[in-house]
Structure 1
Amino acid sequence: MGADNFARSPGEIPGALWAGIDIGTQGVRVLIADGAGTVLGTGSAPLRSRRGGPGRRHEQDPEDWWRAACAACAEATAGLDAAAVRALAICSTSGTFLLADSAGRPLTPALMYDDDRGAPYAERVAAAGRELWHELSLRIQASWPLPKLLWLAEHGPLGAGARVLHSADYLVARLSGGPAATDSSHALKTGYDSLRERWPEEVLARLGLPASLFGPVVRPGARVAAVSAEAARATGLPEGCAIVAGMTDGCAGQIAAGALAPGSGVSVLGTTLVLKAVSERLLHDPAGAVYSHRHPDGGWLPGGASNVGAGALGAAFPGRDLAELDRAAAAYEPAAEIVYPLTARGERFPFYRPDAEPVTVGEPRTAEEHYAALLQGVAYGERLGLAALGLLGAPVTRPLALIGGATRSAYWCQLRADVLGAPVEIPRNPEAAAGMAVLAAASGGSLTETAARMVPAGTRIEPRPDRVERFDKGFRRLVEALAERDYLSPELAARAVA
């Protein structure tokens, strides 16, 4: 495939196909689409995790990623003209990494995004780069790679030639035959200076981490490797298929929703809630709750991850038929009980409080009303998160795109529109793998324009006028309760109810 041909836009390459690969916590998902965004092939395979040990440890075997990717790719390419797949991109969970040798062979298990064994080292990392982290609006967390690298260094030699590979980097190495450049999106939580686009070697030196641990970094969409003959036989992908630098799963979902222009935003609601928007400038959040990825077309993709989410439903109603509970919840609009349903102790966004506890105002009369209160509480958290983004300078003025497992509940989607008092939209292909197929197709061109061609219009849901005022009262009561506990700054509390 010639370089000139690769740089052309999808519409200029008749018959071209584009692949996206998503390495999730529970499995690997592959999607193949044409230049119009029509999905022609999909595949998936499960993954296993190991949890336990001191603290909250969570590991996976990187070889399982490869086995799952081979199975998912083979399923996705079956029945297709695989030779037409011109390029692929890979996303994975933000902050998951391993150490590998110079050939890309694992030296450690994969330390997952929510593994917090780095807790004793987080303040040391924060102090070593305090000025830089402030400039980048980053709050170092125990689950991020740098603190966990210090844990690895203390519990065994890092080894000559060792290199940090994020999940997507490892799969690139297996597909191409060796390590390649990582992307700036996955590198963000590993301490990459996204303003100057370099590793901050002076900070790493203060931490005793050799610069050789950190490989070259490119912007998402840049070509970094090609599929080898051996990998082609294992996956069904064509030999020589271009591999372009990917992004983290949250950014991939934002691409899949086509939420790439200022004023647009996406809400990813699964076990927890992630909100992302678009900004022409880097936002500075004094509280450290919002951080930003670089937009491949220029500008920034600010957002934050909350501990509010659908995980609260499973914890409160294990094994229950949630569709049946949805129907019952419609009788409680709003519920007498108002909750901020954290799935774990502490909150990361829209406010940062490691000591935060769930907040409850009022009492439910029935179990069904408590369920309704949880649904409404997550929606209130979503509205508060949008207020936080708007306060910092990234207001979402277009219909919010909803993706994630919660979109399977039609009732909850309608409820979220009612609480926001604004329309929402469910994309037709709300998958991270779909976002990576768009990124693969955009390589050498505008991601925003490519998404406009490949992301079809979704299903728009309008708020019910008679419900908006009802839920607004409940939301205001929750904001008041959060402010009384000093969880919210006066500025955020005022913005939320403005």
Structure 2
Amino acid sequence: MFDCEAEAWLGIDLGTQSVRALLVTADGTVLGAGTAPLTNHRDGVRHEQDPGEWWEAVCTASRAAMSQGSSRVRAIGGLAVCGTSGTVLLTDAQGRPLTQGLMYDDGRAVEEAARVGRQTSWALPKALWLLDAYGWKEGRGQAARVTHQPDVITARLTGEVVPTDSSHALKTGYDAEREAWPPQLAHLGAVLPEVVRPGTRLGEVCRAAAEATGIPAGTPVVAGMTDGCAAQIASGALRSGAWNSVLGTTLVLKGASANPVRDDAGVVYNHRSPDGSWLPGGASSVGAGALPVGPDPSEMDIRAAEYEPSDALTYPLASPGERFPFLAPEATAFTLGTPASEADRWAAVLQGVAFTERLCLDYLHHLGALMDGPLTFTGGAARSAYWNQLRVDILGRPARVPEQIEPALGMAVLAAYGTGTGGIALPDVADRMVRIRTVLEPRASHTARFTEPYARLVDELETRGWLPTPLATHTRTRLNQDTIDS
């Protein structure tokens, strides 16, 4: 059992814009928080970060969190680190970076993606591109090692090269069902890292790392997960049928299932949960990144409420190409009709994201995924009370919003699970540490307002050849059924 008066756990989130650290007790009390910015190097399809900056930011954020909270607890029970899914680099045999980190949306590995049948957002094409650019040839052994973003940090924390986790390895081609690298990657040999399940103990914080971060030497370090999975843990959506919608720059939906959700199209993929169950989900390219830069979001939300529905219908891709609920690399953002004002344009983006979110849920239903559990909202956009209610109205189903919507909280929960001695299941640990702030209910009259524009968006996406007809048909069937039931 955990003693919330004596012990706390540290979660570290390596985000795109910053590193975030949270020190959290077993009852979910946040004792300390720290953040540090990260620099992004972009040039066309190129997007890189400096791995050395990751470590410096971790040191800054961890010192801040520890300075706020360490005096209020007896011990730090452990820590875990999450990173952006699909971000990869090469390191040497000692874990020292040989290259910059290629971020999840770096788009240079087009040929490699076509060769292995994956999207450029996956880590595998980027890893192959790096190996070629670095000059690695088969037979050179451990001259280079494929490494995921959090592995750089856990190696610095423990003072030695450590295995990667199966969550980050998934998009590098790891077979989560067989829990092994597939035969078609055998030629890479020792270039690929050893893999363990999330929550596995990797080592302890070494003295040098303790001095740099303020984290006590000897603190257990456990294998983490991707930021999307971390956000799911932070939502508490870990029992079969529960789903978490993470809305930030883009939209990610992840659920919990006893078995993998099969998808021949490859749109939905399945992470292996630390307890051996499954976390199916997908990542869309729509999101808050499509909102205009400059206006005050709170003020615009108030004004947007006057446009339900908007005079315009927007498909708000934050970047070209769609990944979920359909695969269309050629997809681009579009707007049908002309917004009546700046506020109407804002409203059209908010509604367009929610329409796509509903389409994602329709796709999951089409695949036969269990959908009868609670839906939870996390991500930066969940700070908008108006957008939360709008999403619930458009989806036509209730949703919960936790007090903390940080992936770093999910890593604190995972650290508590990974270091626990009482055999407590991960969902039970999350129930203790995740606090639900708000439960939102859809308003039937508002839901009805959005039926016609949602149907028009489905029609338009199908007409453009992006949305497969079987999914469009399934969506219309569900929409007609909902209309009859109401």
Distance 2:231 2:162 in 1: 24
343, 356, 364: which one pairs with 1:368?
343
Residue type of the alignment partner of 1:27? S
261, 267, 289: which one pairs with 1:283?
261
111, 130, 134: which one pairs with 1:152?
130
Match of 2:157 in 1: 175
Match of 2:108 in 1: 117
Distance 2:200 2:131 in 1: 32
247-256 or 360-369: which moved more? Answer: 360-369
Match of 1:347 in 2: 322
Q: Helix, strand or coil for the counterpart of 1:89? A: strand
5 Å-filtered alignment, 1:146-295, equals: 146-158=124-136, 160-161=141-142, 162-200=144-182, 202-205=183-186, 209-295=187-273
Distance 1:331 1:226 in 2: 55
Residue type of the alignment partner of 1:379? A
Distance 2:197 2:128 in 1: 26
Residue 160 of structure 1, CA deviation: 4.9
- Equivalences, count: 467
Match of 2:482 in 1: none
How far does the alpha carbon of each residue in 1:52-75 deviate from its partner, in whole angstroms, 9 at most, with x for none? Answer: 2xx511111111111111111111
Residues 264, 396 of structure 1: 8 Å contact kept? yes
Residues 310, 344 of structure 2: 8 Å contact kept? yes
Residue type of the alignment partner of 2:80? A
Residue 16 of structure 1, CA deviation: 1.4
Residues 359, 482 of structure 1: 8 Å contact kept? no
Match of 2:38 in 1: 47
Q: Helix, strand or coil for the counterpart of 1:40? A: strand
How far does the alpha carbon of each residue in 1:100-132 deviate from its partner, in whole angstroms, 9 at most, with x for none? Answer: 112111111111111121111112223xxxxxx
Residues 119, 143 of structure 1: 8 Å contact kept? no
How far does the alpha carbon of each residue in 1:284-320 deviate from its partner, in whole angstroms, 9 at most, with x for none? Answer: 2122211110122232111111111111113xxx312
How far does the alpha carbon of each residue in 1:21-40 deviate from its partner, in whole angstroms, 9 at most, with x for none? Answer: 00111111110111111111
Residues 99, 108 of structure 1: 8 Å contact kept? yes
Match of 1:71 in 2: 60
Residues 141, 191 of structure 2: 8 Å contact kept? no
Residue 496 of structure 1, CA deviation: 2.4
Q: Helix, strand or coil for the counterpart of 1:33? A: strand
* 2:421 is the counterpart of 1:432: no
* 2:51 is the counterpart of 1:58: no
Residue type of the alignment partner of 1:100? T
261-270 or 399-408: which moved more? Answer: 399-408
- Structure 1's unaligned 5+ residue stretches are 1-8, 127-139
Residues 145, 193 of structure 2: 8 Å contact kept? yes
Residue 480 of structure 1, CA deviation: 1.9
Residues 278, 394 of structure 1: 8 Å contact kept? no
Distance 2:456 2:8 in 1: 51
Distance 1:434 1:257 in 2: 9
TM-score by length of 1: 0.90
- Structure 2's unaligned 5+ residue stretches are 479-486
33-42 or 142-151: which moved more? Answer: 142-151
Match of 1:130 in 2: none
Q: Helix, strand or coil for the counterpart of 1:48? A: coil
Residue 363 of structure 1, CA deviation: 3.1
* 2:482 is the counterpart of 1:482: no
Residue 491 of structure 1, CA deviation: 2.8
Distance 2:48 2:469 in 1: 40
Q: Helix, strand or coil for the counterpart of 1:339? A: strand
Residue 266 of structure 1, CA deviation: 0.9
Residues 404, 430 of structure 1: 8 Å contact kept? yes
Residue 77 of structure 1, CA deviation: 0.7
Distance 2:40 2:241 in 1: 38
Q: Helix, strand or coil for the counterpart of 2:79? A: strand
Distance 1:237 1:344 in 2: 38
Residue 15 of structure 1, CA deviation: 1.0
Residue 414 of structure 1, CA deviation: 0.9
413, 421, 430: which one pairs with 2:388?
413
Residues 70, 234 of structure 1: 8 Å contact kept? yes
How far does the alpha carbon of each residue in 1:203-230 deviate from its partner, in whole angstroms, 9 at most, with x for none? Answer: 124xxx5210112111111101110011
The 3 A distance-change label for structure 1 pair 495 and 458 is farther
* 2:389 is the counterpart of 1:400: no
Q: Helix, strand or coil for the counterpart of 1:108? A: coil
Residue type of the alignment partner of 1:59? E
Residue 494 of structure 1, CA deviation: 3.0
Q: Helix, strand or coil for the counterpart of 1:271? A: coil
Distance 1:433 1:439 in 2: 10
Residues 329, 372 of structure 1: 8 Å contact kept? yes
Q: Helix, strand or coil for the counterpart of 1:288? A: coil
* 2:423 is the counterpart of 1:448: no
Match of 1:101 in 2: 92
Q: Helix, strand or coil for the counterpart of 1:78? A: helix
25-34 or 487-496: which moved more? Answer: 487-496
Distance 2:151 2:435 in 1: 29
Match of 1:331 in 2: 306
How far does the alpha carbon of each residue in 1:367-423 deviate from its partner, in whole angstroms, 9 at most, with x for none? Answer: 322221111111101111111112112243334211112122211111111101111
Distance 1:345 1:108 in 2: 26
Distance 2:240 2:301 in 1: 34
Distance 1:378 1:481 in 2: 15
Residue type of the alignment partner of 1:43? G
How far does the alpha carbon of each residue in 1:167-220 deviate from its partner, in whole angstroms, 9 at most, with x for none? Answer: 1111000001111111100100111111110112x3124xxx521011211111
Residue 487 of structure 1, CA deviation: 2.2
Residue type of the alignment partner of 2:120? A
322, 325, 335: which one pairs with 2:297?
322
6, 10, 17: which one pairs with 2:2?
10
Residue type of the alignment partner of 2:185? L
Residues 399, 422 of structure 1: 8 Å contact kept? no
Distance 1:67 1:254 in 2: 27
Q: Helix, strand or coil for the counterpart of 2:11? A: strand
Report the aligned-residue RMSD: 1.7
Residues 361, 478 of structure 1: 8 Å contact kept? no
Residues 56, 117 of structure 1: 8 Å contact kept? yes
TM-score by length of 2: 0.92
